[in-house]
Amino acid sequence: MSDYVEIYTDGACKGNPGPGGWGALLVCKGVERELWGGEPATTNNRMELMAAIRALGELKRACQVRLVTDSEYVMRGIQEWMPGWKKRGWKTSARQPVKNADLWQLLDEQVGRHQVTWEWVRGHTGHHGNERADQLANRGVDEVRRA
């Protein structure tokens, strides 16, 4: 039986584009692990994607994952848009290159390693895991701005 892991992710950006950060809270068997990072010039959507990519990448073996995000962009991309993008060679229905295709491809690779259930929550409504991920993403922004 593979481990069951809950992951809460969030991205933040001060300006869009601007300095950005990502954060993730991983919970497995009651043990919590916090991850965060940032980039000096990025977008909120890229940071939302990075949070999920880096969190899934931390898992050393295949796991059952419940990934909770407040990003409609990530949710719709993974559940609605990605199958078409892949069929069209990472082009949109208008035959334009998919924005952030590099990160979508990395996320697709990470998702393929696990059994992932996606869940969307409204941000900033007091959801414990989402609030922690938001704090971690903002820590990532702060560290980039101080560097």
Indicate the annotated binding residues for Mg(2+).
10, 48, 70, 134
How far apart CA 136 and CA 34 sit, in angstroms, is 7
Q: Taking a C-beta distance cutoff of 8 angstroms, is the pair 54, 46 a contact?
A: no
10 belongs to the catalytic site: yes
124 belongs to the catalytic site: yes
DSSP letter for 60, please: S
Which is the catalytic residue, given 15, 34, 72, 124? 124
How far apart CA 11 and CA 104 sit, in angstroms, is 15
Residue from 63, 99, 60, 61 nearest 82 by CA: 99
Which is the catalytic residue, given 38, 39, 134, 140? 134
Which is the catalytic residue, given 39, 48, 114, 129? 48
Residues annotated as binding site? 10, 48, 70, 134
57 belongs to the catalytic site: no
Which is the catalytic residue, given 11, 21, 129, 140? 11
Which is the catalytic residue, given 20, 70, 77, 140? 70
Q: Taking a C-beta distance cutoff of 8 angstroms, is the pair 25, 34 a contact?
A: yes
142 belongs to the catalytic site: no
DSSP letter for 138, please: H
Show which residues are catalytic.
Answer: 10-11, 48, 70, 124, 134
